[in-house]
Structure 1
């Protein structure tokens, strides 16, 4: 190996280490995924009262109406709520959600026409039990050249989600690459910034790694070239809290070979 190649590998390993450390910090942050203590679908509470969640919540067409009294201790946009307010789905980070009670953040979620309230609590047991993310050290053999082949039009497939409910998963194309001489493809969604998102499993899933993982390649180049870097395979949010509704891999996204790279499991103290 040339000196330049050695330096490139060392740089890639250092960059991966910074990424890995940043992931641990983000997961353990006060409003990271470990702080999610509940996803409450309003259709399950027709009377509008959600256990352990303050206020009265009801669906109203394309929004949610929250009613609270002073004793509920609810803040909306930083101000105490006494009366009612109409809310839409939260789009920003958790700590920017409109509704709060003490350190807790109550986020409004909409999926396939259904409304839910998510409860994020920095004092969650899961957050305080967390130690680190088990991950395989950077291995240049798992940074693979690939080609993205967009579909003529977007597709949607029904897949099971982590909460046991089947939902639609939008797909914009497939990533083609080779592992040890074997041609593989992963169906992927196209994010608003042009980057890709694939949900995949492999021969390690449910054994030495979590039952499925995410891959987020950068946007393809003009010729469709894309880096398939399994060193940055991610644990899905539901690996940190049972209350996320992550989609399972769509048909065809389970690789026959083991992928001993990237994030593997959550480790608690």
Structure 2
């Protein structure tokens, strides 16, 4: 997630400061939406399949996929090609050696002319075909195959994400309270039977309506923190399962800013083909956070 920089506009008052705050937020949100709609991003997912011993041919992606004694593998028929970086994969390939951090992204080009037909594929440049990507990832004790295609109907129809108007009052001063040592924290996922594990270095505290509230934080990149949360708008104006907020690295004295204007939806708000984490139980706020992204107008359904 994109970090929320601390700006003078947040603490200054008056119409000019509010306008500057809104302009900065608008530029950030437009950039976030643009990254969300990359041609082979998560909104281009066309399915989610759990692999087992039986060969699986999934619509819109080449190969027969399964899990064998050595882990996940793909069997490619003559003319079917996947690419992993600069390497072309043909025939039968074991995927475990390619799965760094539990995931491998395999590209293909479908020249069969239809997302519902696995067809044949070739590596290299797109010669009039449809670009695609086969994501193979470990989730809990299982292995999933998630095809993505540049001609995804949901991606083509996506009209953007509505959000509350930017409001400097929702950029709230907070303090980071570090734990003696970072702890591994397990949380559930939107799909049953799956858990995610994150490193939690501590919690963020802030004041609201005369009360002190606490949010468990997860470690992010370059000292930043990630907060998954629900609030009283969840399931009404915002997505029911979760929203996510990136908090820039706290200062040496623990001071931080929770800019709820930059609360964003996770992929599960847009598609059934997602395994997003849900917030820890203590991260449900008892008030309405009327800031950040709202529930999407439509979602990609597995039905």
Instruction: Using structure 2 for the length normalisation, give the TM-score.
Output: 0.77
Q: Kindly tell me: are residues 264 and 115 of structure 1, through their superposed partners in 2, closer, same or farther at Cα, counting changes over 3 Å?
A: same
Shift of 1:31: 1.9
CA distance in 1, matches of 2:260, 2:286: 15
Q: Kindly tell me: are residues 61 and 17 of structure 1, through their superposed partners in 2, closer, same or farther at Cα, counting changes over 3 Å?
A: farther
Shift of 1:157: 4.2
CA distance in 1, matches of 2:248, 2:156: 33
Unpaired runs of at least 5, structure 1: none
User: Deviations 1:169-227 (Å, cap 9, x if unpaired)?
Assistant: 32331111112222111111102421111110000000111112111111111111111
The question of whether the paired residues in 2 share the 8 Å contact of 1:238 and 1:245 is answered with yes
More strand by share: 1
Task: State the SS of the aligned residue for 1:107.
Answer: strand
Tell me how many residue pairs correspond in the alignment.
Answer: 263
Q: Is 1:176 aligned with 2:205? A: yes
Task: Give matches, 1:66-81, under 5 Å.
Answer: 66-77=74-85, 81=89
Shift of 1:167: 0.9
Shift of 1:61: 6.9
Instruction: Using structure 1 for the length normalisation, give the TM-score.
Output: 0.86
Task: Give matches, 1:38-187, under 5 Å.
Answer: 38-42=47-51, 45-52=52-59, 53-59=61-67, 64-77=72-85, 81-87=89-95, 88-89=98-99, 97-102=105-110, 103-170=131-198, 171-187=200-216
CA distance in 2, matches of 1:202, 1:186: 12
The question of whether the paired residues in 1 share the 8 Å contact of 2:133 and 2:148 is answered with yes
Shift of 1:253: 0.6
Task: Give matches, 1:217-232, under 5 Å.
Answer: 217-232=247-262
Unpaired runs of at least 5, structure 2: 1-8, 111-130
Q: Which residue of 1 aligns with 2:114?
A: none
CA distance in 2, matches of 1:114, 1:166: 9
The question of whether the paired residues in 2 share the 8 Å contact of 1:132 and 1:268 is answered with no
